[in-house]
């Protein structure tokens, strides 16, 4: 695997490399990332990954400074997963001057759910992903469903800005007890790690109830939040939405997804399940 810290080096290496399948990351890789990289393999002639902890998508009170940086281990995992080129710029390469032009996603899609609790998050994500797309110029890019709203925002950005890039969703990878793999799981204490799968179980209970015909979605959402609260969590939202645009479903809509975010101690966990 070749490692490029500059745009010029990456572009020179990719000239004539054929169809590029791209997986952007912020590092601290787990099996979920590796699955996306393996999925990218057959989608192109070469897999390019990026590793950049993007300051723009962190709020002032969030964990930008403490976000785990595990470069050597990440490189070994990417190489083993078949990544041919890693783009790992520093902040000066990505933001040589304060970023003055941004991609501002539609607030109807970006100021709800995650965006309500992380103001500016999707603006930061869309802006850096747009920059990465223009640097890497992939034909296809793989994004995990674990960040369901992020996947929707990127898909819509690509469509509305006419970018010639296919966006491919990757399934969430879970631990045996159901906990969705996440870089932030590493923040959990042993006791919190044992408690953490409750979020998945609460969302699954909502999913099962919908599948069984329950249509009082507000009651299901409130029930799941109450269960989390009773176990010491601070739930931020549990919401049943339409998969397509994450807007509120009408009475007999199908194609739903249950999404949740909650604090366990000081760790914020998110998860979702398609119904």
Pick the catalytic residue from 4, 30, 33, 200: 33
- Return the residue of 35, 128, 202, 239 that touches ligand PAF, per CB under 6 A: 128
- Return the residue of 24, 115, 120, 260 that touches ligand PAF, per CB under 6 A: 24
Q: Is 26 in the site for ligand PAF (CB under 6 A)?
A: yes
- The nearest distance, CB 231 to ligand PAF, in angstroms, is 27
Kind and range of the H or E run holding 272: strand 267-274
Token pair in block for residue 85: 């080129």
Which of positions 252-271 make contact with ligand PAF (CB under 6 A)?
none
Q: Is 51 in the site for ligand PAF (CB under 6 A)?
A: no
- Please, are residues 82 and 37 in contact by the beta-carbon 8 Å criterion? yes
Alpha-carbon gap, residue 142 to 109, rounded angstroms = 20
Stretch that binds ligand PAF, among 70-78, 123-131, 223-231, 235-243 (CB under 6 A): 123-131
Which of 129/220 has CB closer to ligand PAF? Answer: 129
- The nearest distance, CB 117 to ligand PAF, in angstroms, is 15
Cα–Cα distances in angstroms (integers) from residue 168 to residues 92, 123, 142, 144, 180, in the given order: 30, 21, 5, 8, 19
Q: By rule CB under 6 A, what string of x and - marks binding of each residue 133-162 to ligand PAF?
A: --------------x--x------------
Alpha-carbon gap, residue 259 to 261, rounded angstroms = 7
* Contacting residues for 23 by C-beta, under 8 A, at least 6 apart: 33, 36, 37, 40, 47, 48, 49, 50, 83, 141, 142
Which of 39/54 has CB closer to ligand PAF? Answer: 54
- Please, are residues 259 and 241 in contact by the beta-carbon 8 Å criterion? yes
Q: Is 125 in the site for ligand PAF (CB under 6 A)?
A: yes
Which of 29/238 has CB closer to ligand PAF? Answer: 29
Q: Measured in whole angstroms, how far is the alpha carbon of residue 275 from the centre of its chain?
A: 19
Query: Hey, is 136 helix, strand or coil?
Result: helix
Instruction: Judge whether 252 counts as a catalytic residue.
Output: no
- The nearest distance, CB 258 to ligand PAF, in angstroms, is 20
Alpha-carbon gap, residue 207 to 272, rounded angstroms = 10
Output phi, psi for 198, to 5 deg: -60, -30
Alpha-carbon gap, residue 244 to 29, rounded angstroms = 28
Q: Is 25 in the site for ligand PAF (CB under 6 A)?
A: yes
Q: Is 93 in the site for ligand PAF (CB under 6 A)?
A: no
Which of 210/270 has CB closer to ligand PAF? Answer: 270
Token pair in block for residue 210: 């919908």
- The nearest distance, CB 251 to ligand PAF, in angstroms, is 34
- Return the residue of 110, 129, 141, 188 that touches ligand PAF, per CB under 6 A: 129
Residues carrying an active site annotation: 33
Q: Which residues bind ligand PAF (CB under 6 A)?
A: 24-26, 54, 57, 125, 128-129, 147, 150
């Amino acid at each position: 695997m070749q490692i490029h810290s500059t745009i010029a080096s990456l572009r020179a290496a990719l000239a004539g490399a054929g169809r590029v399948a791209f997986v952007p990351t912020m590092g601290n890789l787990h099996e979920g990332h590796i699955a996306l990289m393996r999925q990218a393999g057959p989608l192109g002639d070469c897999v390019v990954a990026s590793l950049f902890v993007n300051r723009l998508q962190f709020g002032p009170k969030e964990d930008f400074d403490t976000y785990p940086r595990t470069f050597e281990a990440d490189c070994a995992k990417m190489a083993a997963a078949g990544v041919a080129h890693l783009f790992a710029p520093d902040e000066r390469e990505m933001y040589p001057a304060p970023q003055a032009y941004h991609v501002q996603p539609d607030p109807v899609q970006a100021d709800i759910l995650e965006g309500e609790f992380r103001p500016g998050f999707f603006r930061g994500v869309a802006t850096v992903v747009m920059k990465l797309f223009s640097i890497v110029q992939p034909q296809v890019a793989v994004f995990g469903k674990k960040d369901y709203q992020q996947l929707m925002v990127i898909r819509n950005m690509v469509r509305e800005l006419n970018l010639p890039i296919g966006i491919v969703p990757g399934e969430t990878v879970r631990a045996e007890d159901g906990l969705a793999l996440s870089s932030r799981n590493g923040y959990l204490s042993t006791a919190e790690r044992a408690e953490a799968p409750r979020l998945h179980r609460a969302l699954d209970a909502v999913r099962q109830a919908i599948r069984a015909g329950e249509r009082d979605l507000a009651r299901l959402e409130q029930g799941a939040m109450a269960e989390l609260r009773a176990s010491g969590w601070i739930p931020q939202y549990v919401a049943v939405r339409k998969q397509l645009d994450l807007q509120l479903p009408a009475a007999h809509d199908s194609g739903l997804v249950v999404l949740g975010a909650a604090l366990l101690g000081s760790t914020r966990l998110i998860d979702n399940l398609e119904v």
